[in-house]
Amino acid sequence: MRMVDIIIKKKENKELTREEISFFVKGFTNGSIPDYQASALAMAICFNGMNKKEIGILTDEMLHSGDTIDLSSIEGKKVDKHSTGGVGDKTSLVLGPLVASCGVKLAKMSGRGLGHTGGTLDKLESIPGVTIDIEKDRFFKQVNDIGIAIVGQTGSLVPCDKKLYALRDVTGTVNSIPLIASSIMSKKLASGSDTILLDVKFGSGAFMKDLDSARELARTMVDIGDELNRDTRAILTDMNQPLGLAIGNSLEVIEAINTLNGHGPSDLVELCVSAGAIMLVQAGRVKTIEEGKELLEENINNKSALNKLCEMVEAQGGDASYIKDPSKFEKAKYIIDVKSNKDGYIKEINALEIGEAAMKLGAGRATKEDIIDFATGIVLEKKVGSKVNKGDTLCKVYSNKEHVESILLEVVESFKITNEELKTLPIIYEIVE
Q: Residue 418 above 90 pLDDT?
A: yes
Q: Residue 22 above 90 pLDDT?
A: yes
Residue 326 DSSP label: G
- Tell me what percent of the residues of the chain surpass a pLDDT of 90: 85
pLDDT in tens, 278-331: 999 999 999 999 999 999 999 999 999 999 999 999 999 999 999 999 999 999
pLDDT of residue 303: 97
* Distance of alpha carbon 218 from alpha carbon 429, whole angstroms: 12
pLDDT in tens, 357-392: 999 999 987 776 778 899 999 999 999 999 999 999
More confident residue, 235 or 135: 235
Question: Sheet containing 344-349: which strands, arranged edge to edge?
Answer: 387-388, 344-349, 415-418
Of 194, 167, 161, which Cα lies nearest the Cα of 61?
161
pLDDT of residue 18: 97
pLDDT of residue 413: 96
> Mean pLDDT across the chain, nearest whole number?
94
Residues 343 and 388 sit within 8 Å (Cβ to Cβ): yes
Q: Residue 114 above 60 pLDDT?
A: no
* Distance of alpha carbon 350 from alpha carbon 243, whole angstroms: 11
Backbone φ, ψ for residue 150 (5° rounding): -125, 115
pLDDT of residue 118: 66
pTM of this structure:
0.93
Per DSSP, the three-state class of 34 is coil
Q: What is the CA radius of gyration of the chain?
A: 22
Active site residues: 82, 161, 168, 183, 187
**Is the dihedral angle over the CA atoms 46, 50, 52, 53 positive or is it negative?**
negative
pLDDT in tens, 205-240: 888 889 999 999 999 999 999 989 999 999 999 998
More confident residue, 341 or 118: 341
Q: Residue 154 above 90 pLDDT?
A: no
Of 274, 253, 307, which Cα lies nearest the Cα of 101?
307
Backbone φ, ψ for residue 387 (5° rounding): -85, 135
Calculate mean pLDDT across residues 398-417.
96
Calculate mean pLDDT across residues 322-347.
97
pLDDT of residue 158: 92
What is the number of other CB atoms lying within 10 angstroms of the CB of residue 370? 13
